[in-house]
Amino acid sequence: ILFGRNLLQDFGQERQVALFMPLLEGLDGVEKMSKSLGNYIGIYEPPNDMYGKVMSISDGMIVRWFALLTDIHPDELAQLEAALARQEMNPRDAKMRLAREITALYCGDDSSNAAEEHFKRVFQRRELPGDIAEFAVPAALRGEGGIDMPALLVAAGLASGTSEARRLIAQGAVKVNGRKITALKEEGLHQGGVVQAGKIKMVRIIFS
């Protein structure tokens, strides 16, 4: 980038300002945030998904995400970091504030507050939301040995592609009616039920 500034000058153009920013680690806390790695939060995602994804990050990423993704004052950030280090603040509470601020930034305060209440209801009180989207299973996914789960996850919008769907299943992140599955074919869905991928994405399966 700096060499490019010299090239601009050599070609008679004004040197441009070069701005360097830290890389933002994604949901896994290791790799940089990337859609291809599936460890990202899209700025146009629904508020519930955005809030839930922020809540899924590791405690060690809280301060860094506050620094890179919010407008928190450096003095307040230092106080928050010290409170976490001295265990004077529950990391869950700090993470909820982080999730609330990030969701409000892209979706507005009302949507952020509603997403927080949704999270509390579903993940703290273990209640199924009343507005679970329904997905009618196409006949093509129903074969011998059960439902093709990677194809189902992709078709229902629970995974971006087959590779991500297979990875979620292998990691034990897919549940059918609250039960983790690890096989690519599932027989326990023929009567319908709820399929969940990760902590926040779920659909109610129906058969027409």
Of residues 182 and 208, the one with the higher pLDDT is 182
Give how far Cα 77 sits from Cα of 10, 62, 115, 126, 127, Å: 43, 10, 24, 32, 33
Q: In what order do the strands lie in the sheet with 142-143?
A: 142-143, 146-148, 185-186
> pLDDT: is 100 or 187 the higher one?
100
Nearest Cα neighbor of 95 from 45, 58, 123, 42 is 58
**197, 174 in Cβ contact below 8 A?**
yes
Looking at the chain, the whole-number percentage of residues with pLDDT higher than 70 is 94
Name which of 157, 188, 161, 156 is nearest 175 in CA terms.
188
Mean pLDDT, rounded, for 120-135: 72
**pTM to 2 decimal places:** 0.66
CA-angle at 94, arms to 78 and 120, nearest 5°: 170
Check residue 102 and report its DSSP letter: H
**Whether pLDDT at 187 is above 80:** no
Report d(CA 57, CA 122) in Å as an integer. Answer: 17
**How many CA atoms are closer than 13 Å to the CA of 113, on its beta-carbon side?**
3
What is the per-residue pLDDT for 134? 85
How many residues belong to the chain? 208
Q: What confidence score (pLDDT) does residue 130 get? A: 61
- Separation between Cα atoms, residue 167 and residue 165, nearest integer Å: 5
When pLDDT is averaged across residues 5-13 and rounded to a whole number, the result is 92
Q: What angle do CA 104, 125, 183 make, to 5 degrees?
A: 95
